[in-house]
Structure 1
């Protein structure tokens, strides 16, 4: 049967470095002519409706997604002087997961108020090739940065280096503080809860959306 949905079946690519005016139509003009595109989604801020600077393009097959990745990476985006920034998406668009956090994420704190996703991404991507994404957490009520965020790596070695090398490095006007990214939800992790309490399921759940909306 063709029931496998492992990584090799990933048909969705992540598109980063999008400018505020780049919408689904823009991306469709870039990727659509191949006739291989199923859906296109630009991620927008729920409060403002403004683009978050990245989106996803889902193709009919892994092969056509892979081809787009090869053909477009490094090429200049139409009407700009920027190159396409592409990567495999870490989840399929069918799943309702705004961001899936892998074990390769780190916490970044003490951020200056003006630090954006892009600034955080550039700071780490300039040193570590495997950086997959960066997210500054925004307060839903004020629309301002909460002073911390997360950086996701594709590689454990880079993550380990960043944990030691990036502490105290300046981003904008302040030195940053880095640490392990651990979901705060699981308080029963220390073994205080009884084992066999269908823990596996609840643990599975907590890792999914905490990066998108952590609750203190």
Structure 2
């Protein structure tokens, strides 16, 4: 499934601006995901509603679509900072819309919210991102929304620092001990030598604190 394949999938929309399939830098083979940029937000939203979970052409698997945190043309602001925050400890049933509404109630400059979905299971990974249009509101949200409940669980707020690589956005997080890349096999960012926290991904939504504590207890 290359860029030509994706182009054929969305050709009938007549709204595709660009397509990018992400490939592994070492092997050159596709990583199994990519980005489709549309000419308008409305066109992208219609594509999400139309194609999500329908069967992909000439395949036995469904489309797994979600909003990209940033379009392929987005850049960092002039001062090198980013107007997004990391939101962790999300309940399994929190959606993009609910996350957006939770922040927009107090911070109207919120532009987008994205819950990260596991590509293999289609389930939430328990964290996401919220992007703001105003840096002051972003800073306020870092403090005011930390510990606020979203459905059944209090949220953990951290800094999301972007790195642009190969035309797509990678994230690493300077707070909360979380680390994630747009590529599941992407290289790890440099880590502060004083950091004592590691990120554990791919957990079943039913895994609790004690379930996670037991296998790691032997390491101290």
Q: TM-score, normalised by structure 1?
A: 0.48
Higher relative contact order structure (alpha carbons within 8 Å, sequence separation ≥ 6): 1
